[in-house]
């Protein structure tokens, strides 16, 4: 939480008010160890918007679906991936053979 507050303050926002408002509206949850989590439905809506903007995996800037990330990393024909800004991947149940050119 402290890290998030510093980033938002550095961008000229007033995060204490905004975060408190999001918590009051049940859009954010702050755990006892100060971990900030977004409500599942808000996360799903954001993902749906990102997916709708561009259906081609190589043109997305954020990836979170394990099967799509796996196919991108294992692809024999590397795609342009400079646009990718973030990947969220839980690899516990995923066997991945990464192509070094991906």
Q: How far apart are CA 27 and CA 39, in angstroms?
A: 5
- Report yes or no on 16 lying in a domain: yes
How high is the pLDDT of residue 23?
92
Domain that holds residue 83: 49-102
pTM above 0.75, yes or no: no
- pLDDT value of residue 94: 66
How much is the pLDDT for 99?
Answer: 63
DSSP reduced 3-state for 3: helix
Q: Are residues 33 and 58 in the same domain?
A: no
Q: Please answer whether residues 83 and 60 qualify as being in contact, where contact means their C-beta atoms are separated by less than 8 angstroms.
A: yes
Rounded to an integer, the average pLDDT of 79-95 is: 70
User: Residue 86 pairs with which residues in a beta bridge?
Assistant: 62
43 within a domain of the structure (yes/no)? no
Instruction: Give the chain's domain count.
Output: 2
In terms of domains, do 75 and 26 share one? no
């Amino acid at each position: 939480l402290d890290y998030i507050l510093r980033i938002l303050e550095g961008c000229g926002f007033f995060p204490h008010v905004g975060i408190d408002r999001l918590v009051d509206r049940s859009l954010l949850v702050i755990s006892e160890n100060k971990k900030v989590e977004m409500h599942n439905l808000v996360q799903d809506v954001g993902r749906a918007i990102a997916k709708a903007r561009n259906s081609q995996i190589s043109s997305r800037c954020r990836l979170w679906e394990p099967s799509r990330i796996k196919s991108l990393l294992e692809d024999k024909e590397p795609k342009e991936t400079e646009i990718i800004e973030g990947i969220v991947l839980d690899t516990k149940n995923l066997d991945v053979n990464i192509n070094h050119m991906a």
